[in-house]
Amino acid sequence: MKAARTKTPRRPKKPTNPTLKDPVGVYCRVRPLSRADQECCIEVINETTVQIHPPEGYRVFRNGEYRETQYSFKEVFGTLGVQKELFDVVAKPLVEDLIRGKNGLLFTYGVTGSGKTHTMTGSPGDGGLLPRCLDMIFNSIGPFQAKRFVFKLDDKNGVDVQSEVDALLERQRRDALPVPKTPSGKRHLDPEFADMINVQEHCKVEEVDEDNVYSVFVSYIEIYNNYIYDLLEEAPFEPIKPKPPQSKMLREDQNHNMYVTGCTEVEVKSTEEAFEVFWRGQKKRRIANTQLNRESSRSHSVFIIKLAQAPLDADGDNVLQEKEQITLSQLSLVDLAGSERTNRTKAEGNRLREAGNINQSLMTLRTCIEVLRENQLYGTNKMVPYRDSKLTHLFKNYFDGEGKVRMIVCVNPKAEDYEESLQVMRFAEMTQEVEVARPVDRPLCGLTPGRRFRNQAFREELARKLEMRGGPLGGETEEQSVAEMLLQNFPPLPSCELLDINDDQTLPKLIEALEQRQKMRQMLSEDFAKNVLAFKTMLQEFDSSVVSKEHYIQGKLSEKEKIIAGQRTELERLEKKIKTLEYKIDILEKTATIYEEDKRNLQQELESKSQKLQRQASDKRRLEARLQGMVAETTMKWEKECERRVAAKQLEMQNKLWVKDEKLKQLKAIVTEPKEKPERPSRERDREKAVQRSLSPPPVPSSSPFAQGGHSQRLASPPQGPRRSNSCSSISVASCVLEWEQKTPSHKQSTSYARTKQEPEPSRGCNSSHRRRGMCWTGVLEVPRHREELEIEEDHCCRNAPPVRLRHRRSRSAGERWVDHKPPSNVPTETVLQPHVPHAITVTTASEKALAKCDKYMLTHQELASDGEIETKLIKGDVFKTRGGGQAVQFTDIETLKQESPTGRKRRSSPSQPDPLGEAADSEWTDVETRCSVAVEMRAGSALGPGYQHHAQPKRRKP
Ligand code: ADP
Ligand code: MG
């Protein structure tokens, strides 16, 4: 037969709810003092608090300092506490959890002699937690236990389930083996231990799942010197040189639980059997301690109870062969080594090292608890050093994963243990703050509950009924025996052989036997008929009961069918609804996709359009810049061109004019002075003119008719006329001013030059330096009173003097009359001071007629200064009659009217001209040339010389 073995599947780590956490349950047990006269340092205050006070000696040692400390626990068990009480409170819930498929860990902690072993194992007549746990487990699952070997633990901490037939075969196979049978029953136990499991209280878990089958496995290990030993391992007995026990390794299973590899796990079916196994391990431990000279209190003992459970099948007869349905839970009962520090023990050499290691294990336990507590309290994520010791590593998943953890702190109240007890209390208090995830409930198998008893009850009832009737079906064996008895009593047939004719015995014997047989046959047939009848009635009864049951069942069935029909219609309705909704969802999804597609398209379009727009904008900007550049360039070009043309035209016109004038003058001269002395050679005449010029400096009435002091009005005195060749007989205002300005590199220079020439009178109050330099800043230009005061300093000045006839100079007493020559395009300025000359003849073009009437000439000229301001220059001159009968103007001064910003900034700037100086100079040139377009000197008898031509030619500083 093929074994239907199933294996537990790899389960993911059980989901743990971080909010569902329970703190480690810490209980305290205070043992009674060994002797009544011992000093006590621990008192039980109430159910949850103990108080420790320093013993006498300690107080003296500490200078009489006396401090009592109280420690609180979940519950405190005093010296009068009994094992049962402790078990009910501490261990019972763990057993209940075990049966419900949850893991649990219970350990005792305390110094040596504090009652850890007493608490865990108990003493004869007073069983501890371990035997009580076992007893409770078997009391609870006793009737529901699986047959031996139905559950099989594998070597990876998992469990298999096999069919009952396979289990039976395995049982038979094992029984056939020559190994000693597992002893069961109390008779094999040491009487000392047997007494411990004699638990009177019949404690059991309520509400055990009766539709499950259970199997208990126990293992017992010892951790000594950080090595794990299997206390149940069957080692071959070697009396001469016993082998030291082999240590075991720790591994993590698929559910992240730690387990001891290759550890013996014994399936036990009763408390006695389980305790016997424990006892075996305990005995081995003792032997090892003796043989290896070990300190028993230095080792940790771990007794592990594993409970495998799986649900019954639907018939309630056999275990369900579904691997997912098996649950394996375990309860670890740990009796820790004494927590005292090494110096307290009298360990030496090897023992000391071992003791140190043991302490190291407990130290690691303390560290782990501390780190866990810190992580949980402060939300840190420190690594918990479980792996630092075998002890903590083995129970890692209890703290990290899930399970119930409980600790019993055992203390001996004697004074000698005071210090150690304090340490124990502190650790215990800290442990209480650690929280462990609450285990999740095992899922239900899904089969109808109560199946085990429903079928069992039916079978029992049938058997009872048959028994009651006493019928042949009451018991097959019974029936068989009656038939056998009858057959056995059936009279045998005597010999039918008639050997003698006179034999009168054989026939009667035969007749008698046959009659007896006939009787028995009748009896049998009667019995048979009776039985048949009984069977028939029973059958009828059964039939009727079956029919009634059938009716009942049918009624129920129809009821259920109705319900099912109702549910089906509901289901159909819901399905329809689901379909409609699915359809709607479909439509919505489609719409959503369409919209999304639209959105994507639009976004793409938008992006492309915006990109295009950006491109266009940048193109536009570029184009604009280019056009602006072009416009500026073209404007500039055209402006220059215009200026050039205008200038050329002007020059041309001037030339024409002058040629005409000259012709007229010559004509006039010929007409008016025909009989004058004969013409001298030109050189001689020139020399004479020069002398005349030098002798007639302009008697400039330089006090301006509109000059005022205290504001930014500059008064400049020009030099005595533009430098020109002696042959030059006529001059234009423009060329005159131009030459004048060109001669001096800066205005200041010209000013100073002019002033040098117009030395003021010392009596006017100017200081010596001013006098020396010919400067006076009173706002009024001092002019020489007499013509004689003027010095002829330079030859060129003399040469530059206009060709005037002094005798034609108008008398000053007659009153000055001005020709105010204002070009028609005069720009009104914002200056407060405005030039106003009384009794002036205002002209827009220089006319000889006007000049003839006046003795003063003023040309208003505007130009853009370098700071962007409009500068109004009033170029003043004296009018002289020429010897030719014409009028000549000799420029004497330039008055400048100009506004300035007080901050010195430019008030206006010309954007089109990057070089304001150049522009100013340029405009100056053009303006001067444009506006002073008329030559004012009219002289007869002098032809235009090349020098004149040269001066009349407009000069451009910038090409
Ligand atoms: P530990 O295992 O902590 O070293 P034990 O359990 O071996 O200590 O106890 C030492 C002794 O004290 C034992 O003889 C034990 O019977 C006794 N003892 C411990 N606890 C109690 C108790 N609660 N009541 C009575 N006796 C106790
Ligand atoms: Mg002990």
Residues 908-927 have a mean pLDDT of: 42
State the pLDDT confidence band at 489, using cuts at 50, 70 and 90.
Answer: low
519 located within any domain: yes
Where residue 469 falls among pLDDT bands split at 50, 70, 90? low
- Ligand 1 atom 17, closest CA: 115
Residue 531 and residue 420 in one domain = no
For the CA of 335, the closest atom of ligand 1 is 2
Give the binding-site residues of ligand 1, using a 6 Å CB cut-off: 31-32, 110, 112-118, 123, 297, 338, 410
pLDDT at 124: 82
Where a domain ends, among 644, 659, 676?
644
Return the ligand 1 atom nearest residue 112 CA.
4
Show the tokens assigned to 10.
């790899």
Whether pLDDT at 422 is above 70: yes
Cα(337) to ligand 2 centroid in Å equals 7
Average pLDDT in the 510-526 region?
Answer: 84
Q: Which ligand 1 atom sits closest to the C-alpha of 110?
A: 3
Domain count, the chain: 3
Q: Whose CA is nearest to atom 11 of ligand 1?
A: 113
Long-range contacts for 658-665 (Cβ within 8 Å, ≥24 apart)? 658/730, 658/935, 658/944, 658/952, 659/944, 661/730, 661/935, 661/938, 662/730, 662/942, 662/943, 662/944, 665/884, 665/886, 665/938, 665/939, 665/940, 665/941, 665/942
- CA–CA gap between residue 864 and residue 165 (Å, rounded): 126
- Does 297 lie in the same domain as 161? yes
pLDDT band at residue 576 under the 50/70/90 scheme: very high
Spatial CA neighbour of 401 closest among 437, 369, 371 = 437
Mutate to test the pocket of ligand 1, among 27, 44, 118, 416 (most ligand atoms within 8 A of CB): 118
**Nearest Cα to Cα of residue 434 among 487, 388, 486, 375:** 375
pTM score over 0.75: no
pLDDT above 70 for 768:
no
**Ligand lying closest to the C-alpha of residue 289:** 2
State whether 305 and 399 are in the same domain.
yes
What value does the mean pLDDT take over residues 621-650?
92
- The answer to whether 117 and 335 are in contact (CB under 8 A) is yes
Q: How far does the centroid of ligand 2 lie from the alpha carbon of residue 300, in Å? A: 9
Question: Is 785's pLDDT higher than 50?
Answer: no
Measured by CA distance, the residue closest to atom 16 of ligand 1 is: 118
On whether the CB atoms of residues 698 and 889 are closer than 8 A, the answer is no
Ligand sitting nearest the alpha carbon of 296: 2
Residue 678 lies in a domain: no
Q: What is the pLDDT of residue 240?
A: 73
Residue 333 in domain: yes
> Distance from the CA of 335 to the center of ligand 2, in angstroms?
7
How much distance in Å is there from the Cα of 94 to the middle of ligand 1? 23
Residue 438 pLDDT > 90: no
Coil/strand/helix, residue 304: strand
Residue 181: inside a domain, yes or no? Answer: no
Q: Write down the pLDDT at residue 524.
A: 82
pLDDT of residue 836: 80
Residue with the smallest CA separation from ligand 1 atom 19 is 115
User: What residue owns the CA closest to ligand 1's atom 20?
Assistant: 115
Degrees to nearest 5, angle at CA 97 with 96 and 103: 145
What pLDDT, on a 0 to 100 scale, did the predictor assign at position 790?
37
Q: How far is the CA of 125 from the centre of ligand 1 (A)?
A: 14
Which ligand 1 atom lies nearest to the CA of residue 123?
16
Q: Which two tokens stand for residue 272?
A: 């006695």
Q: What is the pLDDT of residue 834?
A: 80
**Which of 7-16, 235-244, 257-266, 438-447 is the least confident region?**
7-16
Q: Output the residue whose Cα is nearest ligand 1's atom 10.
A: 113
Residue 111 is assigned to a ligand binding site: yes
Residue nearest to atom 1 of ligand 1 (CA): 113
CB atoms within 10 A of CB 512: 12
CA distances from 633 to 395, 725, 841 (A): 93, 40, 44
Give domain status of residue 523, yes or no: yes
Is residue 702 included in any domain, yes or no?
no
pLDDT of residue 192: 62
Per-residue confidence at 556, pLDDT binned at 50, 70, 90? Answer: confident
- The Å distance, Cα 23 to ligand 2 centre, comes to 26
Ligand at shortest distance from the CA of 196: 1
Å from CA of 396 to ligand 2 middle: 23
Q: Is the pLDDT of residue 446 over 80?
A: no
Among the listed ranges 11-20, 435-444, 564-573, which one has the minimum average pLDDT value?
11-20
Q: Would residue 287 count as lying in a domain?
A: yes
CA of 203 to the centre of ligand 1 (A): 24
For ligand 1, atom 23, which residue shows the shortest CA distance?
31
> How many whole angstroms from 112 Cα to the centroid of ligand 2?
6
116 annotated to a ligand binding site: yes
* CA distances to 15, 159, 744 from 441, in Å: 11, 19, 115
Same domain, 559 and 430: no
Which residues constitute the domain of residue 518?
506-644
pLDDT digits 0-9 by tens, 70-127: 999 999 998 887 899 999 999 999 999 999 999 999 999 999 999 999 999 998 888 8
Between 318-327, 681-690, 708-717, the lowest mean confidence (pLDDT) is in 708-717
Residue nearest to atom 9 of ligand 1 (CA): 115
Separation of 420 CA from ligand 2 center, angstroms?
A: 16
Cα end-to-end span (Å), the chain: 123
- pLDDT, averaged across the chain: 74
- Residue 215 alpha carbon to ligand 2 centre in Å: 29
Which CATH number is 858's domain given?
2.60.40.4330
Ligand 1 atom index nearest CA of 121: 6
- Tens-digit pLDDT profile for residues 656-687: 998 898 889 888 888 887 554 444 445 545 54
Is 386 domain-assigned? yes
Instruction: Find the 417 Cα to ligand 1 centroid distance in Å.
Output: 14
409 with 279, same domain: the answer is yes
Ranges 5-19, 256-270, 626-640, 700-714: which has the least confidence: 700-714
Tokens describing residue 394: 């083995």
Domain final residue pick, 384, 402, 437: 437
| 154 in the same domain as 50 | yes
Ligand minimally distant from the alpha carbon of residue 112: 1
Q: Kindly report, residue by residue over 348-390, the tens digit of the pLDDT.
A: 555 554 545 446 889 999 999 999 999 999 999 999 999 999 9
Q: Is 112 annotated as contributing to ligand binding?
A: yes
Split at pLDDT 50, 70, 90, the class of 733 is very low
pLDDT per residue as tens digits for the range 142-171: 888 999 999 999 888 899 998 888 888 888
Q: What is the pLDDT of residue 364?
A: 93
Q: For residue 40, give the DSSP letter.
A: B
For atom 18 of ligand 1, the residue with the nearest CA is: 115
Phi, psi of 69 (to 5 degrees): -125, 140
- Residue bearing the bigger pLDDT, 477 or 538: 538
111 CA: nearest ligand 1 atom: 3
Instruction: Give dist(CA 258, CA 244) in Å, integer.
Output: 25
Return the ligand number nearest the Cα of 299: 2
Per-residue confidence (pLDDT) for residue 121, from 0 to 100: 92
Q: What is the predicted pLDDT for the residue at 584?
A: 93
Same domain assignment for residues 288 and 380 = yes
Ligand 2 centroid to residue 110 C-alpha, Å = 9
Q: Kindly state the greatest CA–CA separation across the chain.
A: 241
Residues 215, 249: contact at Cβ < 8 Å? no
Same domain, 142 and 266: yes
- Which CA distances in Å does 563 have to 241, 572, 574? 77, 14, 16
- pLDDT tens track for 848-876: 888 888 888 888 888 777 777 778 888 88
**pLDDT of amino acid 947:** 34
Place of tokens 């010559």: 666
CB 801 within 8 A of CB 693: yes
**Within this chain, do residues 432 and 523 fall inside the same structural domain, yes or no?**
no
Rounded to an integer, the average pLDDT of 782-791 is 38
Most confident of 202-206, 261-265, 798-802, 855-859: 261-265
Q: Which of ligand 1's atoms lies nearest the C-alpha of 108?
A: 3
**Do 290 and 408 reside in the same domain of the chain?**
yes
Nearest ligand, measured from the Cα of 338: 1
Taking the CA of residue 114 as reference, the ligand 1 atom at the shortest distance is 3
| pLDDT value at residue 775 | 35
For residue 734, the model assigns a pLDDT of: 47
More confident residue, 910 or 384: 384
Q: Are residues 408 and 515 in the same domain?
A: no
Most confident listed range (387-401, 786-800, 856-870): 387-401
Q: Are residues 50 and 199 in the same domain?
A: yes
- Site to probe by mutation for ligand 1, drawn from 27, 28, 31, 130 as the one with most ligand atoms within 8 Å of Cβ, is 31
Higher pLDDT, 604 or 719: 604
Residue where a domain stops, chosen among 417, 437, 457: 437
Q: Is 16 annotated as a binding residue?
A: no
Q: Which ligand lies nearest the alpha carbon of 83?
A: 1
* pLDDT value of position 66: 65
Model confidence band, residue 475 (pLDDT cutoffs 50, 70, 90)? very low
Report the atom number in ligand 1 closest to the C-alpha of 31: 23
pLDDT grade for 200, boundaries at 50, 70 and 90: low
To the question of whether residue 79 is assigned a binding role by annotation, the answer is no
The domain that contains 288 carries what CATH number?
3.40.850.10
